[in-house]
């Protein structure tokens, strides 16, 4: 199975609502983007319209890989923007900035490629399972871009008091997968760490200007420099680690409540995810409407099994709830929140298979469905085609067969270690006055 081979293979349209107000200070636009993250799109918008990031609000983050539409609101300004990968269309005005509350659902259309006839034969049974059981509401790989690019969880660096490492991971650790100008910017600061008076010559360096300006005045205050990053980006770093803790805690909970024998495993960016293939009536009633907490110092538990599962992950990390904080930085904080454990894709439809023009001899299908805000369409598809993403067992290579030495090699070995060689060694030792070996 392959996803997102072409931008049009993955599209999402945001269903939204906002209260129109002809005198509202926020100008609401429909943003249509392609191969851009929401952060990148907003950054481009700010440069084009000459507005501050704080004067742009939106409902949520949309996938970079694909074509997506979503609402953005700009304080005090109507913006026209028509570029090949980024377009804005004015919809109206409203009195308040946008938030997740303005999104009602998201409609996805996904082309799944590189399928075999066996994959297509297994799909109906898997589709029935998803319709009956739903999908565990994990956070998918998109949430963990910092792992993909080798930076780790930056907030963990901060939690253990290593603000310089967090700053290096942000400013000076280029990804091996990144071919954009941003990688050159980071390479420069990696090679010139601490030389803050230097001018970074690469395009895009201005993105890091507030951090570098602060370091020129306060070269040893790495935490203060980190706090000059964009606030919504900082919050996302906290949320990424919270999301991983949530995923790991839910896996532990499912092992205890559902049982390992009834779970299937799927690979993703941060390891593996577990999904039930079947649920008895009692277990289904118990867990399908349950929530599981995003952990924070203020987290409270009503179900002891949820508490054991969640805290076992923190214990594995060598932490407690009280450790989920960054000393001397109240701006960076963990907030408690409950997240639905399961999600049920609405209006789930799988189209007829067709030849895949991108992968010779293979098939493709279109899958369409709706999800509530915050749920991941890629997880629905991965669950539908789970067998293509099952962890591969480690293959142990058999030991190399022992090669018999040639007659010449045997002769050389005897010459070096045989009776005559030992006799020569004793003779040499006596000449030197050394004790015989």
pLDDT tens across 337-373, in order?
A: 999 999 999 999 999 999 999 999 999 999 999 999 9
Q: Please give the pLDDT value at position 267.
A: 94
pTM of the predicted protein model: 0.82
Task: Please list the residues that pair with 274 across neighbouring strands.
Answer: 265
214 pLDDT above the threshold of 90:
yes
Give the per-residue pLDDT at 70: 87
Least confident span in 36-40, 348-352, 414-418: 414-418
End residue of a domain, out of 192, 214, 229: 229
Query: Do residues 86 and 127 both lie within one domain?
Result: no
pLDDT at 305 over 70: yes
Q: Examine the domain organization and report whether 161 and 206 are in the same domain.
A: yes
Q: In this structure, what are the phi and psi dihedrals at residue 136, rounded to the nearest 5 degrees?
A: -60, 135
pLDDT at 402: 61
Does residue 28 lie within any of the structural domains?
yes
Residues 366 and 424 in one domain: no
- Within a domain: 291: no
> How far apart (Å, rounded) are the C-alpha atoms in residues 310 and 290?
14
Residue 3 domain-assigned?
no
Low-confidence winner among 12-26, 371-385, 392-406 (lowest mean pLDDT) = 392-406
CA atoms within 13 A on the CB side of 275: 28
Predicted pLDDT at 430: 73
Helices 209-217 + 163-171 axis angle, to 10: 140
Assess whether 122 and 92 both reside in one domain. no
Shared domain for 26 and 89, answered yes or no, is yes
Report the alpha-carbon distance of residue 251 to residue 265 in Å, rounded. 10
More confident residue, 289 or 237: 237
Average pLDDT over residues 288-305: 94
245 within a domain of the structure (yes/no): no
Judge whether 316 lies within some domain: no
Band the pLDDT of 286: cuts 50, 70, 90.
confident
Report the CATH number that the domain containing residue 222 is assigned in CATH: 1.10.1510
What is the per-residue pLDDT for 436? 55
- In a domain, residue 293? The reply is no
Instruction: Please report whether residue 326 resides in a domain.
Output: no
Q: What is the average per-residue pLDDT within 149-155?
A: 89
pLDDT at residue 56 above 80?
yes
Whether residues 413 and 351 share a domain: the answer is: no
Residue 146 is predicted with a pLDDT of 84
Domain of residue 39, CATH code:
3.30.70.3160
Number of domains in the chain: 4
Q: Is the pLDDT of residue 435 over 70?
A: no
Mean of all residue pLDDT scores within the chain: 90
Note whether 168 and 225 are same-domain residues. Answer: yes
Domain region containing 64: 19-97
pLDDT digits 0-9 by tens, 217-248: 999 999 999 999 999 899 999 999 999 999 99
């Amino acid at each position: 199975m392959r996803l997102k081979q072409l931008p049009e293979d993955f599209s999402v349209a945001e269903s939204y609502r906002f209260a129109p107000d002809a005198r509202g200070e926020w100008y609401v636009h429909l943003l249509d983007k392609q191969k851009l993250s929401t952060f990148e799109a907003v950054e481009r918008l700010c440069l084009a319209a000459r507005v501050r990031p704080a004067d742009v609000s939106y409902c949520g983050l949309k996938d970079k890989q694909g074509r997506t539409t979503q609402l953005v609101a700009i304080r005090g300004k109507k913006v026209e923007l028509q570029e090949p990968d980024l377009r804005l269309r004015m919809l109206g005005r409203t009195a308040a900035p946008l938030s997740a509350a303005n999104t009602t659902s998201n409609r996805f259309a996904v082309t799944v490629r590189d399928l075999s006839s066996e994959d297509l034969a297994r799909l109906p049974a898997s589709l029935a399972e998803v319709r009956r059981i739903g999908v565990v509401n994990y956070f998918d790989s998109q949430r963990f871009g910092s792992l993909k690019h080798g930076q780790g969880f930056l907030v963990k660096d901060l939690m253990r008091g290593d603000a310089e490492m967090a700053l290096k991971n942000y400013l000076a650790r280029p990804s091996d997968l990144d071919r954009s100008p941003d990688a050159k910017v980071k390479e420069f600061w990696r090679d010139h760490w601490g030389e803050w008076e230097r001018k970074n010559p690469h395009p895009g360096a201005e993105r890091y200007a507030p951090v570098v300006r602060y370091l020129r005045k306060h070269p040893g205050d790495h935490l203060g420099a980190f706090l000059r990053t964009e606030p919504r980006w900082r919050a996302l770093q906290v949320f990424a680690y919270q999301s991983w803790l949530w995923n790991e805690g839910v896996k532990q909970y499912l092992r205890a409540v559902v049982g390992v024998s009834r779970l299937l495993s799927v690979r993703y960016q941060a390891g593996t995810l577990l999904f039930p293939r079947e649920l008895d009536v009692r277990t289904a009633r118990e867990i399908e409407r349950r929530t599981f907490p995003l952990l924070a110092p203020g987290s409270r538990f009503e179900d002891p099994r949820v508490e054991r599962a969640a805290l076992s992950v923190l214990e594995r990390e060598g932490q407690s709830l009280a450790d989920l904080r960054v000393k001397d930085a109240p701006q960076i904080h963990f907030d408690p929140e409950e997240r639905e454990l399961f999600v049920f894709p609405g209006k789930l439809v799988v189209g007829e298979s067709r030849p895949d023009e991108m992968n010779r001899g293979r098939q493709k299908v279109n899958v369409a469905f709706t999800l509530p805000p915050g749920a991941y369409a890629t997880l629905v598809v991965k669950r539908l085609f789970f067998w293509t993403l099952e962890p591969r067992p480690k293959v142990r290579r058999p030991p190399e067969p022992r090669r018999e030495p040639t007659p010449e090699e045997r002769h050389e070995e005897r010459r070096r270690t045989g009776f005559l060689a030992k006799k020569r060694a004793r003779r040499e030792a006596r000449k030197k006055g050394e004790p015989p070996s």
